[in-house]
Structure 1
């Protein structure tokens, strides 16, 4: 009965016109009239949010695209589409299908629907208590926050819709809110979600695959770093660290298979749970069609190659993140360090946050708070346990904030390779202090841009508005309140 209820609700929420603004408009009355009577309805609606992220295989791939394709560790493969190539080479138009944000707003509306309608079930079903309701609201608030956070990092100014779209009479003419306004709303949602949050669901899969207190803390730290609020970022990371629920796994032949091949390890905080019943598209895009490949920089510089001693390897490199011989992105298709998954077992999770990233966010906050020695110690701890090789080691002085920042960025590129982080990491650091480190973005472009396009790309990237994607032309046509990013006018 529980599964049937979930499926009915997901189908009901999915019956939405593709031509309406934000792709959010459901048929009149369906959601309100047929559901929201029992606590099982609330549970089904929340599970439906996760289900939408898993069942829409494009969702995880889009997170990869937005975080990696404009960086310096991924290049288009031989079967890449024009849209993928144009995004990689900063030749982006508002007609590019990859600028369509519809899937994000669709899931946001699922979250809004839970936030708006779930509380009324308290009056309908006496078996639903306040604490249980708050747990469900925490999940919806946190996922909504994550989606808006991603949109604001990608597009800068975006429409901020905080109520559910329930019928055809709702207002769909919504202007954009500034990136800062969106970030502040993200923090507000996360703080409320933390207040309501659950720290332990009682089983491993839910503790890793659903929103917990610690997933919220990781998101808070991330958002605070973008707001340059380093004290609160540090506090958020310490909540995760001091919980004692997470640890880095010592290097071994089984490390990759445990963390990535199987998933839900002690290094995991929040993972999108693909399974044999709900496969991902990674085998196709990283292997069979090879739409994306690791850049030469990723292969040779990020992980390093010890030509004198081939056995001296960073455990995150060969047969973990990459297969160097073909520039293959291996992280999402490997079962272990010897064997790939298949089209029928392509179930590697998408990693929203891992413990190592929380440690590196702490290092970033410490460095910005002029506690460089502590920041360096964290980087060195991670490098030691991952068996990073000497050629990739830097030796910044404890008072050299810029060099320490570069060291942290370099270590993030190794630790979080291809996890949708690289472009956002560099952009976050580059934009501080009125783009004092614009050089980071320019040098990143130079390392991967085709030689005949380098100057054109550099000229474009001088304009900070070019660091964000355009609003898709279909959205501009449908919603007259939207104003295009000026770089694309």
Structure 2
């Protein structure tokens, strides 16, 4: 691992590399290039990055509430309270983006310096460089995409920052230009990306390989399609998802392992851990980097403590004496509603018990997050499980993409393609072809069936006739059941909102542009996103249009970079 890095003054815009890394004398060996690539990934293991991904992706949604009884002096209590009450100030701790820009800076260093090593180290080949370049392009694109989903308009750095005297006034770019750049870089990276099972160890999931790059591309196309309501982008999402599914299937068949799950025609395409092994393979002490995983931030194999996850879900101050984190699941996520109005519609879904403590209990107002925290399976439909080890270090990997996520991205895109098919059929005075819709349902059913025991599968399996006219809602709910607490939900709700806005949003405009047109959020979005509040209607005014979907830029960043324009709906605490 490289030496520790230094801050730019006291501002979190970029963490600069140490002097040794910047110096040309450093770039002499293959091992040094590999070290910088590894360091780029390490920036996203920073506790700020993990905390923020949980807050940005889960706490802002209907999934999580602040834990009742947090001490007044708890470090992030005030910042979380601002976000929960929708009164976010620009100094809020969760507006920090520095781990992402630090990772971007290391990626830029690789892109600028690594090629020269070919001439000085005979062990560093052109093929090695192309592989490192692919890693740098892919990780940089992932970071930029993530940031534009959170902040909308973000600075795009012109190259690597080498020292504190560098000009930090990077220009702010629109989402459209950022997404276009990301797609271009990912497609370039894909040409020399390593296959999914190259190493046979943690690197197959810890690096952005071919499958990981395709997952980011699918995610970007799904995002852009939802905002622009574009059939071609939805199809591109499906294509990239299919490439991952095909590669996973081929790798599994070539591995010689037994088929883990499924025998009928629909199920042959998907190779997932089975009902009994699902939790332990993905989240358990002896699991992580499971066959069905695609991209994980590596804590266990780096011997690093996942402090951000520890604080949010396990112990708010990383002390073994605490038995709760800053956040717990909202009541909706621990309660079964058989009428389908909630998240869980039956009490035999194993995920309910694997992912939450005290699930289905009528005496609990908040449900502890069990996913990532417990190191063993809860046991079949065991709501009484309270397995909480006292451990000094939580070295749980943070999963960014896995196969069921990709499957459900595909299902989401297929449902929208079916909407385009229905419009075409109406125009042609013919019956709509339900192929897209049926395929989306089959995916949702497969993911849902995996969480049912053999004894319950026939009684509780979903039926197409029940859901054929509400497939968008089914996909959204299945993603909530499968991927809750993994940093996905808020972005799922944002895509849903963009599709239901009465006016289409414009990705080519910055929120601060004079000709930016304010687009109200949809009533369908409000119904879901605000339902964790006691009086949802009282919160609508604080989330009334597109601008409120995004986080403010940290006040220090605005003051440092004169090219940054703040999201106009937010103010500094000094201006209240």
Q: TM-score, normalised by structure 2?
A: 0.77
Partner of 1:418: 485
Alignment partner of 2:296 out of 258, 271, 279: 271
Runs of 4+ in 1 over 6 A off after TM superposition: 388-392, 396-399
Bigger Cα displacement from structure 2, 123-132 vs 469-478? 123-132
Give the distance between the partners of 2:80 and 2:65, measured in 1 at CA: 9
Give the distance between the partners of 2:142 and 2:502, measured in 1 at CA: 25
Partner of 1:3: none
Deviation at 1:21, TM superposition (A): 6.8
Is 1:42–2:109 an aligned residue pair?
no
Is 1:16–2:7 an aligned residue pair?
yes
Aligned pairs for 1:176-195 within 5 A: 176-195=172-191
Alignment partner of 1:358 out of 396, 406, 421: 406
Deviation at 1:471, TM superposition (A): 1.1
Is 1:315–2:397 an aligned residue pair?
no
Give the distance between the partners of 1:100 and 1:419, measured in 2 at CA: 19
Q: Secondary structure at the match of 2:208?
A: coil
Alignment partner of 1:346 out of 394, 402, 414: 394
Q: Deviations over 1:348-402 (max 9, x none)?
A: 21010010011101111211211111111111111111229888958577874xx
1:29 and 1:267, CA in 2 relative to 1: closer, same or farther beyond 3 A?
closer
1:124 and 1:118, CA in 2 relative to 1: closer, same or farther beyond 3 A?
same
Partner of 2:522: 438
Give the distance between the partners of 1:393 and 1:300, measured in 2 at CA: 19
Give the distance between the partners of 2:524 and 2:297, measured in 1 at CA: 30
Structure having the higher Rg: 2
Deviation at 1:27, TM superposition (A): 6.7
Alignment partner of 2:541 out of 449, 459, 482: 459
Give the distance between the partners of 1:351 and 1:194, measured in 2 at CA: 21
Contact 1:303/1:316, CA 8 A, preserved across alignment: no
1:340 and 1:32, CA in 2 relative to 1: closer, same or farther beyond 3 A?
same
Is 1:335–2:375 an aligned residue pair?
yes
Q: Deviations over 1:150-191 (max 9, x none)?
A: 110000000011411113443211231001111111111211
Deviation at 1:57, TM superposition (A): 2.0
Aligned pairs for 1:59-458 within 5 A: 59-78=49-68, 79=70, 81-199=77-195, 200-228=197-225, 229-243=233-247, 244=249, 245=251, 247-252=271-276, 254-261=277-284, 262-275=287-300, 277-281=303-307, 282-289=309-316, 290-301=325-336, 304=344, 306=346, 312-324=347-359, 325=361, 327-338=367-378, 339-370=387-418, 371-387=436-452, 400=469, 403-432=470-499, 434=501, 438-451=522-535, 454-458=536-540
Contact 1:36/1:117, CA 8 A, preserved across alignment: yes
Contact 1:29/1:167, CA 8 A, preserved across alignment: no
Q: Secondary structure at the match of 2:295?
A: strand
Deviation at 1:288, TM superposition (A): 2.9
Give the superposed CA RMSD. 2.4
Deviation at 1:321, TM superposition (A): 4.2
Contact 2:299/2:305, CA 8 A, preserved across alignment: yes
Equivalent pairs counted in the alignment come to 469
Give the distance between the partners of 2:137 and 2:442, measured in 1 at CA: 35
Give the distance between the partners of 1:145 and 1:440, measured in 2 at CA: 31
Contact 1:258/1:265, CA 8 A, preserved across alignment: yes
Segments of structure 2 that go 5 or more residues without pairing to the other structure are 71-75, 226-232, 253-270, 317-324, 337-341, 379-386, 419-435, 504-520, 572-576
Deviation at 1:248, TM superposition (A): 1.4
Q: Secondary structure at the match of 1:204?
A: coil
Partner of 1:309: none
Q: Deviations over 1:9-39 (max 9, x none)?
A: xx3xx13324357234457785133411111
Q: Deviations over 1:440-461 (max 9, x none)?
A: 321124311243xx34420122
1:413 and 1:40, CA in 2 relative to 1: closer, same or farther beyond 3 A?
same
Segments of structure 1 that go 5 or more residues without pairing to the other structure are 1-5, 307-311
Q: TM-score, normalised by structure 1?
A: 0.89
Q: Secondary structure at the match of 2:7?
A: coil
Q: Deviations over 1:25-71 (max 9, x none)?
A: 457785133411111110111111223323x2222221111101110
Q: Secondary structure at the match of 2:244?
A: helix
Give the distance between the partners of 2:463 and 2:132, measured in 1 at CA: 45
